[in-house]
Amino acid sequence: MAGAVLCTLNIRYNSEMVSRLLRHSEAKIIFVDYQLLDIAHGAFKLLSMKETKPLELVLITKSNNPIHDSTFTSTTLEYESLLKTRNPDFEIGQPKDELDPISLNYTSSSTSSPKGVVYNHRGAYTNSLSTVLLHGMGAMPIYLWTVPMFHCNGWCLTWGVAAQGGTNVCLRKVTPKNIYGNIMLHKVNHLGGALTVLNMIVNVTPSDRKTLPWKVEIMIGGAPPPPQILFKMEELGFNVSHQYGLTETYGPGMICMWKPKWEFLPPEERAELKSRQGLQHLGVEVDIKNPITLKKIPTSGYLKDLKATQEAFDGGWFRSRDLAVKHPDGYIKVKDRSKDIIISGRENISTIEVETVLYSHPAVLEAVVVGQPDHHWGETPFAFVKLKEGCSVEAKEIIKFCRDHLPHYMAPRTVVFDDLPRTSTGKVQKFLLRKKAENMDNLP
């Protein structure tokens, strides 16, 4: 509306990465929260060394704690003060074309440098309203933010919640105590997050857990929630909806729409149905090819990266490279990332299936499975496990548990107890775990 393109940057990036993306995006003005001022300092110094044109900085501070920063004296504006200087005669501008860019979103860079995905007005409008409608977000919702707003513009709900006249409840720190406390304080009825958020809620300490007097809808993205976590979430008063998407699809591109008749099924069957990625969003086409592909209606490609755009959007469809099946009822289930499939001998092993069994062990809090090089089989499953607080179990017990519930070739040969490295959006960085497994292999 002001003729600018929004570009939100990952708050967990260091100064070097921020400076690279500011230069790549050709940013003109940067809004900085006072808690991130040190990162901005470092980024600006690196930019000045590259003889980049100085940016204007708008500093966001606590209203009762103004910050006077001499580093940016000539180019710094304070947010609240800036609002007071508004021009009452300013006229809102309309985009000349619905495909004009509205925002630039950088991918999470789990395996390579971040790519700048160009969002257009049509895609943002379609996806934000689709997310609101498909998740049953009625008028004046109260939405709790655990999804970073720099991640796909918060799944486009920065616009969607506003379109419904809703209230945004923001957290500086995502903890179980803060989640429960804000739900009760503000009467939150919607929130979104990754599997890590569900893990927080399920494993909250009794002193921080609250009894919810109303049903809270929660949208989950990323890895499918294991049945045990879904059962517990239902007991706690949450209704979980699983969705699937990528930065290149504005976030959510598919959702597992729940059917009333499924309510009467046994818990295990309900959990299996709910773990599916489901049906496409409004305005999105989905098809199972090799691999699953999404139609190129959302984004306009990658900024300054023609080669990557041509590869990812070849033939007018975005290729996610995820492996999936389509069930007779039309619902799609992602089986695994193509790069995560373990090929052991002549067998293909889905890491998701092995992880689901690991999650069913009563002592396991989190689990990730990767392939480990093996001279005879090519690869064998290697599991990284994080135990619940106060639990103790040996690796051989975990392996036996898996062999009792899976074909032996699918059971991990090795189990390591360790913390799991994650991106800022909660995704496990499997490429780091693969490297660790390779360095621990048994090859002579």
The fold adopted by the segment(s) 101-336 is Rossmann fold (3.40.50)
Residue 366 DSSP symbol: E
In this structure, are residues 178 and 202 in contact, taking their beta carbons and an 8 Å threshold?
A: no
Please state the domain extents for the chain.
Answer: 6-84, 101-336, 340-439
pLDDT at 215: 94
Q: What is the pTM of this model?
A: 0.74
pLDDT at 443: 42
Neighbour-count burial for 302-328, b at 16+ CB within 10 Å, e otherwise: bbebeeebeebbeeebbbbebbbeeee
Amino acid identity at 345: G
pLDDT at 177: 93
Cα–Cα distances in Å, from 98 out to 32, 164, 306, 358, 396?
Answer: 29, 21, 22, 47, 58
Quick count: other Cβ atoms within 10 Å of Cβ 287? 12
pLDDT at 52: 62
User: For 76-205, where are the E strands, in sequence order?
Assistant: 76-78, 101-106, 116-120, 142-145, 167-170, 190-193
pLDDT at 61: 76
| Residue in 418, 412, 426 with CA at minimum distance from that of residue 353 | 412
Residues 6+ apart with CB under 8 A from 412: 354, 369, 380, 381, 382, 383, 398, 399, 402
DSSP H helices, 282-348, are: 306-312
Architecture in CATH of 340-439: 2-Layer Sandwich (3.30)
Cα–Cα distances in Å, from 114 out to 101, 133, 224, 444?
Answer: 18, 31, 24, 36
Residue 62 token pair: 């606590």
State how far the Cα of 254 lies from the Cα of 222, in Å rounded to an integer. 12
- Same fold? 101-336, 340-439: no
Cα–Cα distances in Å, from 234 out to 198, 239, 270, 437?
Answer: 11, 6, 11, 36
Residue 18 token pair: 């921020």
State how far the Cα of 253 lies from the Cα of 221, in Å rounded to an integer. 10
DSSP, collapsed to helix, strand or coil, labels residue 26 as: coil
State how far the Cα of 201 lies from the Cα of 57, in Å rounded to an integer. 37
Residue 256 token pair: 């597992």
pLDDT at 288: 66
pLDDT at 314: 67
Average pLDDT score over the chain:
84
Residues 6+ apart with CB under 8 A from 330: 279
pLDDT at 322: 74
Q: Which residues of the chain fall below pLDDT 50? A: 73-74, 110-111, 291-297, 442-444
Residue 14 token pair: 């260091």
Q: Are strands 347-349 and 342-344 parallel, antiparallel or unpaired?
A: antiparallel
